[in-house]
Structure 1
Amino acid sequence: MDVAALYTFAWRHAHRVPEPVLRAAATLAADLTWLRHGAGVRRLEANYARIRPDLDARAVRRLSREGMRRYLRYFREAFTLQGADADQLAARVRAEGEENVRPVLDDGGSVVLALTHAGNWDLAGAWATPHLAPVLTVAERLEPAALFTEFVAFRRSIGIDVLALGDDGVFRDLVRGAEDGPRLVPLLADRDLTARGVEVDLRGHRARVAAGPAALALAADAPLVPVGIFHERLHGERRRRAGSAWGIVIRFLPPVPVPDAADHRTQIARLTQGWVDAVGEFLVERTADWHMLQKVFVDDLDPERYARTRARAGEI
């Protein structure tokens, strides 16, 4: 199966399919995937169970069904973004806590955003560029190379500038981009894709997340703002304008205070724990919007592999 060709076809043609048809197809695909109860769904449920100890196994299972529906909704929305006009984008997005970012942006500065894989971050970025400030981010280099090329082209077509994670000088380019504000620099950080992550406490469990948001905020002297994104059902005039039954809410949380620390590494660790504490509360409130079908918590990682990761990071 040519995955790159399938994604390219979806990005180029999905917006021509009537929205109710796409919505029904995505819901059906989500429910069938949920019923199969494969490895991804089981991992989603295990992650939910760790941050929601108040739920029994049956409740977690029900919650994962809604989680899969929202996960497939993300893809449906992303594939149709190129066909949405400015008024539709404006109607699909509602922002909370703009006072936590707008003064800095209006003054010509940049803001680093710490995001989780929640809601629809592509829709959020497409909205943010015309309504707040240009968006600059990084993305994991996908395989095959043709898929990554199409992915970058897609994001740039909706107003999001993308750098490839792992390329030489990518952190330097992020710092320069942030210093050349105003800019929003959102980083999906609830999963460590490098050997330079930070071990944190996430709702009472050890987890490994990316160090990027904290490191970038310190290097660029920019505020670090945790962000939660979640879906909401649309009604009435807003639904008509949006051309969709669903929209998103972008919740900008208060900036994380820069901690005093004897060394840079400790400062990054404490700043990272600060944004994790904030988004941890959000994930408890909006658990079904968290599309995390991969391992995040330390207890779920292979001990030997994780020990090698920590050794490469100089932690042991």
Structure 2
Amino acid sequence: MSGERAGTTAPGRAGARVAARVADRLTDLGYAAGWQAVQRLPEPLARGAFDAGGRWAAGRDGRGVRQLRANLRVATGGRLADDELAELTVRALRSYARYWQEAFRLPRLPRRRIVAETVSSGVEHFERAREEGRGVVVALPHSGNWDAAGVWLVDWLGGPFTTVAERLRPESLYRRFLEYRESLGIRVLPLTGGEQPSSAVLREELAGGGFTCLVADRDLGPGGVPVELFGRPTTMPAGPALLAARTGAALHPAICRFTDRGWEFAVRPEVRVDGPGRLRDRVAAGTQGVADAFTRDLAVRPEDWHVPGRVWADVPPDPPTGRRG
């Protein structure tokens, strides 16, 4: 018996590895085909197609849609009736589809158009930090189009800023997204597997007055900081507050939203992480300050918050619509 199992396990594992490589290759080819096809489409046609795709996804009511609906219920304080929440979820999926349509097309859009059609506010906070010779850590949620905001920021800075990206599978797909963001003028460090730890590179740049932007509303690692987001306990990454505390950089939450014609990028006042007290306590307080800013800003236009994954441990996906109630 054990000999039979040993004889069948190795081929089974080999087959699984081959299947995984084939799946990775198909994923990469799918994204490559999407990038090429969408960039060739006239913009109105591409927008219409992705908008229809968002509506179609809402109608399928898959697990991601049901998790998004549950997250939006929390973000709106449970005040919406079922039909209102359903309409909000459709708008959120259309917003998410718009992000992907723009992601495929953004490298082809004229930089001057993106800058001209971006409504910015709170830029005086950045100006103050630069006058003081301090670096800046910008903490963002997954809202609106943060890549378009990146194009605006590169133009305002007159040069690149740095961010960190999780390594995707397959590696070729990660390279595609790396090349895409670098084509926008954004310097991207891998979260893992780089020549130097990303945190060491960021500390060096911030100490020299550089800028870094980090998406910080979902904790994907084991070292998250406990916070309250929309009044519920969750965790958020410590990175933004920790970098600011260790380098003297200014920590600024910011929000990206869509407008009818373009984009909005709003910078919020500094969340202080300096002063007396233990580093651990200052980082915890700073991360909660970022969470508070996210709570206020995301509530204004919750449909632009793209979170089809778990945010709170005690908020699972909704049951399928047909079985609700």
Q: Quick check: TM above 0.5?
A: yes
Q: 1:144, 1:170 → 2: CA distance?
A: 20
Q: What TM-score, normalized by structure 2, do the two folds share? A: 0.85
Q: 2:130, 2:110 → 1: CA distance?
A: 24
Q: Which residue of 2 aligns with 1:161?
A: 187
1:33 aligns with 2:61: no
Asked whether the 8 Å contact 1:137–1:160 carries over to 2, the reply is: yes
1:278 aligns with 2:306: no
Asked whether the 8 Å contact 2:244–2:273 carries over to 1, the reply is: no
**How far is the alpha carbon of 1:169 from its aligned partner?**
1.2
What amino acid maps onto 1:249 in structure 2? E
SS at match of 1:249: strand
What amino acid maps onto 1:288 in structure 2? E
Deviation string, structure 1 residues 85-105 (Cα, Å, up to 9, x no partner): 122122231111111112223
Q: 1:151 aligns with which of 177, 181, 204?
A: 177
Q: Which residue of 2 aligns with 1:83?
A: 108
1:38-53, aligned counterparts within 5 Å? 38-53=62-77
Q: 1:138 aligns with which of 164, 169, 178?
A: 164
Q: 2:226, 2:82 → 1: CA distance?
A: 27
Q: 2:206 aligns with which of 175, 178, 182?
A: 178
What amino acid maps onto 1:36 in structure 2? R
**How far is the alpha carbon of 1:14 from its aligned partner?**
2.5
Deviation string, structure 1 residues 168-199 (Cα, Å, up to 9, x no partner): 51100111122233x32110011111111111
Q: 2:306, 2:130 → 1: CA distance?
A: 29
Q: 1:296, 1:206 → 2: CA distance?
A: 10
Greater Cα radius of gyration, structure 1 or 2: 2
Q: 1:293 aligns with which of 308, 317, 320?
A: 308
Q: 2:233 aligns with which of 195, 202, 206?
A: 206
What amino acid maps onto 1:174 in structure 2? L
SS at match of 1:163: strand
Q: 2:311, 2:303 → 1: CA distance?
A: 16
Q: 1:80, 1:102 → 2: CA distance?
A: 31
Q: 2:189, 2:40 → 1: CA distance?
A: 29
Deviation string, structure 1 residues 269-300 (Cα, Å, up to 9, x no partner): 11100111011111111100100111111313
Q: 1:268, 1:261 → 2: CA distance?
A: 12
What amino acid maps onto 1:187 in structure 2? L
Q: 1:272, 1:261 → 2: CA distance?
A: 17
Asked whether the 8 Å contact 1:11–1:154 carries over to 2, the reply is: no
What amino acid maps onto 1:150 in structure 2? R
Q: Which residue of 1 aligns with 2:272?
A: 257
**How far is the alpha carbon of 1:12 from its aligned partner?**
4.2
Asked whether the 8 Å contact 1:11–1:82 carries over to 2, the reply is: no
Work out the number of aligned pairs and report it: 288
Q: Which residue of 1 aligns with 2:4?
A: none
SS at match of 1:299: coil
Change (3 A) 1:269 1:300: same
**How far is the alpha carbon of 1:15 from its aligned partner?**
2.4
What amino acid maps onto 1:9 in structure 2? A
Q: 1:219, 1:169 → 2: CA distance?
A: 15
Q: 1:261, 1:143 → 2: CA distance?
A: 43
SS at match of 1:23: helix
Asked whether the 8 Å contact 2:214–2:240 carries over to 1, the reply is: yes
Q: 1:31, 1:139 → 2: CA distance?
A: 29
Q: 1:144, 1:27 → 2: CA distance?
A: 28
Asked whether the 8 Å contact 2:95–2:144 carries over to 1, the reply is: yes
Asked whether the 8 Å contact 2:70–2:315 carries over to 1, the reply is: no
Q: Which residue of 2 aligns with 1:228?
A: 255
Q: Which residue of 2 aligns with 1:238?
A: none
What amino acid maps onto 1:199 in structure 2? P
165-174 vs 143-152, which moves further: 165-174
Q: Which residue of 2 aligns with 1:65?
A: 90
Gaps of 5+ in 1: 235-246, 302-316
Change (3 A) 1:297 1:231: same
Asked whether the 8 Å contact 1:26–1:73 carries over to 2, the reply is: yes
Asked whether the 8 Å contact 1:135–1:184 carries over to 2, the reply is: yes
Q: 1:86, 1:292 → 2: CA distance?
A: 28
